[in-house]
A and B are shown apart, each in its own frame.
Chain A
Amino acid sequence: MYIIVIGGGKVGYYLTKQLIEDGHEVLVIEKSQAKVDRIAEDLGDVALRGDGCEVATLESAGLRRADMVIAVTGDDEDNLVSCQVAKSKFGVPRTVARINNPKNADIFKRLGIDMTVSATSVILNNIEQELPEHPLIPLLTLKGGGLELVEVKVPADAVVVGRKIQDVLLPQQSIIVLIVDAEGVPKVPTPDTVIHAQDELVAVTRTETEAALRAALTSPAAR
């Protein structure tokens, strides 16, 4: 494939390098002569100095026969315009834009860009996968360590939903001390109190049984 990369910064450089290794014909368009020189030195005659938003530059880059344009400058607006010009003026079949503001993903799609890549979104997604979905929130450490006051929200699919407190098996020395229901009303739990979805439970637990407490209160019901 003939691929045009717009922007010869770090992303553009490594992208170009990898695409060449993968056997593609690649041309990178970059404004700064210093960056063009560096790319030419490392990767060969694959860099063109110019503004990747200007029609004349794109024309001389041979955009008419390009299969794909990938715009990876640091500015979302420049990447948008490069892709739109490539598509509307040169009929490039596939355009990819790097975006910094993740909220631009939807906008770019609606403005005709085929694909967007956001480092911000990728990092955010990875972090969210690393974090437990229903975390215990530590509120307070009691008695110089060992005991903790924690809060947990009961998910809708938890096995404890609809059960009385006395029927819920909690780890040793773990006590539910307060329930705040979905409407924000606090209740002191009795053995007969029924747990509802979206209840926020405040509990005392030992540090070493935190995970077990979390599992007891948030594990989904078996199907």
Chain B
Amino acid sequence: MKIIIMGCGRVGAELAKMLDGEGHDVTVLDIDANAFRRLPRGFRGRALVGNGIDQDALRRAGIEGADAFVAVTQGDNRNVMAAQIARHIFQVPRVVSRIYDPIRAEIYADLGLETISPTKVGARLMREAIDRAGERAAQQAGG
């Protein structure tokens, strides 16, 4: 797949590494060239300085032929806007965006975007971990 990742933070870089390792054609977009230091040595994809809410920058990143677009910058609104441009203007078939605010994530999910709220996912994982830790403590007390 040809995949564009917008935002080269920890999640963006990790995802880029993962997809590159699987043999996908990856382009990473960030407004700060400094962010590309997070990419692993030997990364075979492209790293491009540009703003993902600017359609010209998205074109330069090759969005017109992309199979997937992932928006993982620090800004919820930037992610939401870029994802909608990718989906509705450039008709990218698979679009995923990170939205920290769970309510906004829900609103845009209702509007047809594939959204991930790390806040919600993180809280749920923590909640499950509390139960697991409790079970373990009970076993140890019982055994």
Contacts and interface: CB of A to CB of B under 8 A. Distances in A.
Contact of A53 (B84, B88, B104, B111): B104
B93 interface: no
A77 interface: yes
Interface in A43-98: 53-56, 75-78, 80-81, 84-85, 88-89
Contact of B107 (A88, A101, A107, A110): A88
B77 A53 contact: yes
Contact of B111 (A75, A78, A88, A110): A88
Contact of B56 (A103, A110, A111): A103
B54 interface: yes
The 5 closest A-B pairs by CB, nearest first: A77-B77, A77-B81, A81-B77, A55-B103, A77-B78
Given A53-B77, A75-B77, A88-B107, A111 B54 contact: no
B110 interface: yes
A80 B81 CA distance: 7
Q: Which of B55, B81, B103 has the most CB of A within 10 A?
A: B81
For chain B, give the interface size range: 20 to 34
B40 interface: no
A110 B89 contact: yes
Contacts of A84: 107, 111
Contact of B84 (A78, A101, A111): A111
Nearest to B108: A84
Contacts of B76: 53, 81
A88 B80 CA distance: 14
Contacts of A56: 103
B53 interface: yes
A108 to B, nearest CB: 9
A107 B89 CA distance: 7
Contacts of A103: 54-56
B111 to A, nearest CB: 6
A204 B124 CA distance: 79
B77 A78 contact: yes
Nearest to B56: A103
B85 interface: yes
Contacts of B84: 107, 111
Given A53-B77, A76-B81, A107-B55, A81 B89 contact: no
Contacts of B88: 110-111
A78 B53 CA distance: 11
Contact of A88 (B56, B89, B101, B110): B110
Nearest to B81: A77
Interface in B26-84: 53-56, 75-78, 80-81, 84
Contacts of B80: 77, 80-81
